[in-house]
Amino acid sequence: MIAENKYMLAGSVDEALQAAKQYAGSYRFLAGGTDVISNKIQGNDTASCLIDISRIRELKEINGTGSWLKIGSLVKLEELKNHELIREEFPALIQAAHSVGSPLIRKTATLGGNLLCENRCVFYNQSEWWREAVGYCLKCNGDICIATGGKKNCFSKFVSDTAPVLIALNAEVEIADETGVKIIPVRQLYTSNGINSLAIPAGSLMKSIQLLPGTGLRCVFMKLRPREAVDFTSLTTAVSVDGNKKIKIVLGGVDPGPVIYEPEAGFDPEEMLEKVMKKPRMVDNDFYPRGYRREMIKVFIRRSLVELKII
- The verdict on 299 binding other proteins (CB under 8 A) reads yes
- The verdict on 295 binding other proteins (CB under 8 A) reads yes
- The verdict on 103 binding other proteins (CB under 8 A) reads yes
Q: Which is nearer to other proteins, 19 or 69 (CB)?
A: 19
Minimum CB distance to other proteins, residue 288 (Å): 6
- The verdict on 130 binding other proteins (CB under 8 A) reads yes
Candidate list 14, 132, 178, 262; residue touching other proteins; CB under 8 A: 132
Minimum CB distance to other proteins, residue 307 (Å): 14
- The verdict on 136 binding other proteins (CB under 8 A) reads no
Handedness of CA 114, 119, 124, 128 (dihedral sign): negative
- The verdict on 34 binding other proteins (CB under 8 A) reads yes
Minimum CB distance to other proteins, residue 256 (Å): 19
54 CB-near residues (< 8 Å, 6+ apart): 30, 31, 32, 33, 74, 110
Interface segment toward other proteins; rule CB under 8 A; list 204-212, 243-251, 269-277, 287-295:
287-295
CB–CB of 306/299 below 8 Å? no
Minimum CB distance to other proteins, residue 170 (Å): 29
Interface segment toward other proteins; rule CB under 8 A; list 14-22, 57-65, 128-136, 270-278:
128-136
Using CA atoms in the order 188, 111, 175, 256, what is the torsion angle rounded to 10 degrees?
Answer: -30
Question: With DSSP H G I counted as helix, E B as strand and the rest as coil, what are the percentages for the chain, rounded to 5?
Answer: 30, 25, 45
If one counts every other C-beta atom within 10 angstroms of the C-beta of residue 26, the result is 12
Question: What number of chain residues touch other proteins (CB under 8 A)?
Answer: 50
Candidate list 3, 7, 183, 185; residue touching other proteins; CB under 8 A: 7
CA–CA separation, 271 and 273 (whole Å): 5
Handedness of CA 221, 222, 227, 233 (dihedral sign): negative
Minimum CB distance to other proteins, residue 47 (Å): 10
| CA-to-CA dists, residue 12 to 51, 53, 297, angstroms | 11, 8, 42
Rounded to a whole number, what is the distance in angstroms from the first to the last CA of the chain? 61
Binding region for other proteins (CB under 8 A): 4-7, 9, 30, 33-34, 37-38, 40-42, 50, 52, 54, 101-105, 107-108, 122-123, 126-130, 132-134, 146, 224, 226-232, 287-289, 291-292, 295-296, 299
